[in-house]
């Protein structure tokens, strides 16, 4: 156990359990759980501080009458390529900022080696990176950056299809580097002429 002492008072400031569970590169134990139980386990571990994340994800689906039919939450990681990109932005070596979003069909838990969403949607625009949407970027709170994208009734491939993961990317729109990767639970089955709004927030505290 890693116990941290303060410089002045020499007593345990807190038990650093999170240092031992900082989103391991391989989620072998969690991957054995059914998707629904896997998400519940991840969410509980995060709430008690055993897993770290720096953001949140949410997809809200509505029917043509504007009624909410499904709300999905997501847990996420910042992959290695995203950490490097953030470093380059802060250092001034890159002006490509995070403002694009893409969606995938895969259900595998994201890992730090990810560079793209799993099984990207193959839509009329050409599929893969060409289905990335430009987000509305806002700062609704002192320590939060929020990205939001609207999925129209014609977005993506022929319906029905189910969105299970999504990612945040920097410019340029079709080739930018992944900043964050989120797994959605429950998956969003896009049917008929339903629309959806996907939101991702980066928390800086």
CA distances from 193 to 64, 67, 87, 154 (A): 6, 12, 41, 7
User: pLDDT by residue (tens digit) across 11-34?
Assistant: 333 333 333 333 333 455 555 667
Q: Decide if pLDDT at 126 tops 50.
A: no
141 pLDDT band, cuts 50/70/90, is: confident
Q: Which of 199, 189, 187, 185 is nearest to 39 (CA)?
A: 185
SS3 helix, strand, coil % of the chain, rounded to 5?
20, 40, 40
The pTM of the whole model exceeds 0.75: no
């Amino acid at each position: 156990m890693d116990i941290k002492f303060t410089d002045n008072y020499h007593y345990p400031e807190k038990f650093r359990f999170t240092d031992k569970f900082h989103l391991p590169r391989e989620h072998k134990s969690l991957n054995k759980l059914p998707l629904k139980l896997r998400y519940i386990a991840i969410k509980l571990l995060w709430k008690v501080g055993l897993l770290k994340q720096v953001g949140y994800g949410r997809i809200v689906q509505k029917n043509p009458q504007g009624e909410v039919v499904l709300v999905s939450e997501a847990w996420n990681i910042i992959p290695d390529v995203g950490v490097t990109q953030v470093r380059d932005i802060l250092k001034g070596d890159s002006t490509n900022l995070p403002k694009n979003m893409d969606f995938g069909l895969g259900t595998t838990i994201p890992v730090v080696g990810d560079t793209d969403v799993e099984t990207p949607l193959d839509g009329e625009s050409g599929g893969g990176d060409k289905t990335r949407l430009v987000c509305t970027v806002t700062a609704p709170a002192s320590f939060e950056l929020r990205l939001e994208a609207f999925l129209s009734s014609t977005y993506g491939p022929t319906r029905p299809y189910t969105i299970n993961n999504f990612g945040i990317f920097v410019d340029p729109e079709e080739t930018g580097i992944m900043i964050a990767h989120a797994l959605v639970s429950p998956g969003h089955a896009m049917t008929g002429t339903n629309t959806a709004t996907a939101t991702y927030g980066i928390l800086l505290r």
